[in-house]
Amino acid sequence: MTTRAATLARAADLCASFEAAGAQRIETPVLQPAEALLDLYGEEIRARAYVTSDALRGEQMLRPDFTVPVVQMHMAHGAEPARYTYAGEVFRRQEHDPSRANEYFQVGYEVFDRENPAAADAEVFCLFETVLSPLRLRAATGDIGILTAAVRGLRTTDARKSALLRHIWRPRRFRSLLDRYAGRIKPSKQRLELLAGRAAAPDAPLIGKRSQSEIDARIALLHADAATAPLSETEVDLLDALVNVRETMPFAVQQLRDLAVDMPSIEQAVARLSDRAEALAKRGVDVDALPFEASYGRTSMEYYDGFVFGYYHPKRHDLPAVATGGRYDALTRRLGEGAEIPAVGGVIRPDLMLMLEGGA
């Protein structure tokens, strides 16, 4: 069994490696204000985080990750460019799988740099590749930005595009919405009754937290959506082809370029992927063998909006990722109160490294 002392020692070694790469060591409080996390993730995060409160500070959460507080710190006080490393515990509620840890260590490396995003992506990926190489892990890569660009380019209403963008990280819900917007799924009986004004008696009492004005606004949105023309089969087929791209990086770039002929909205995102492949190759990565999945990261990387990556043991499918990371430019915009800066980073779990090495 991996001991806490061994985990702390490995975390210190990883931080030292990141400091040698130019990172500044930082710390963030274990207790984080809940407001920012709720704004980012919505009420759903309550099911995944430990929440407490006090009279002075209001609702607080035990730190569910480091990225949000690191971004907040940098946007308030950081210089440019900047590189940070940190180590500490994160806390995640586990209500369904008792085998998954609810408290574990992460060591991170983050880069805030405007000059060359592709080079910064390659820097982070290659640094992780170096420190993890003795474990012979399987790398996975993707790019959330390509799918979001495709959704933004759909010929439909802003409301529908916003709904799809909100659910990119929930593939089943995204699929359901896409099929409904394409007219492949008939409206439910309840929705038809609501649209027809037969959902409730005029004098029915209000139950729940929504006001009458909020209910009326929601019904108006449903009426507007019902009057919207369905997505074309061509657009849906193109989206399906995009999310199913799963190749080595050079072949993925070519497939996506072919799709961009009919989906011009993804051209810039595909160009960024191509630039990243070149930057990785310059650092010695064998991109001809590097896997790329257009849908990778859609179930677990909610604040990433571009490059995403992870490292997994090729045989221990029961284990979570040993390391994950990606680009989160939009997060700096949301937390920067008008300011923004390209940012990319990742985290490693030292306890899993030790477990796979057979360490103490």
Q: Say whether 92 counts as a known binding-site residue.
A: yes
How far apart are alpha carbons 233 and 212 in whole angstroms? 37
Report angle CA 10, 12, 17 to the nearest 5 degrees: 95
Q: Say whether 24 counts as a known binding-site residue.
A: no
Per the listing, tokens 């994160």 go with: 90
Bridge partners of 343? 112
Q: Say whether 309 counts as a known binding-site residue.
A: no
21-53: string of b/e by CB count within 10 Å (b at 16+)?
A: bebeebebeeebbbebbbeebeeebbebbbeee
Q: Say whether 110 counts as a known binding-site residue.
A: yes
Q: Say whether 106 counts as a known binding-site residue.
A: yes
Q: Say whether 66 counts as a known binding-site residue.
A: yes
SS3 278: helix
Question: DSSP character for 211?
Answer: -
CA dist 35 → 32, 48, 61, 245, 264 (Å): 9, 15, 9, 37, 38
Counted residue by residue, the chain has a size of 360
Closest CA to 328 of 174, 110, 149: 110
Q: Say whether 304 counts as a known binding-site residue.
A: yes
Q: Say whether 72 counts as a known binding-site residue.
A: no
Q: Say whether 65 counts as a known binding-site residue.
A: yes
Bridge partners of 143? 307
What residue numbers does the annotated binding site cover? 65-67, 92, 106, 110, 298, 303-304
What residue numbers does the annotated binding site for L-histidine cover? 65-67, 92, 106, 110, 298, 303-304
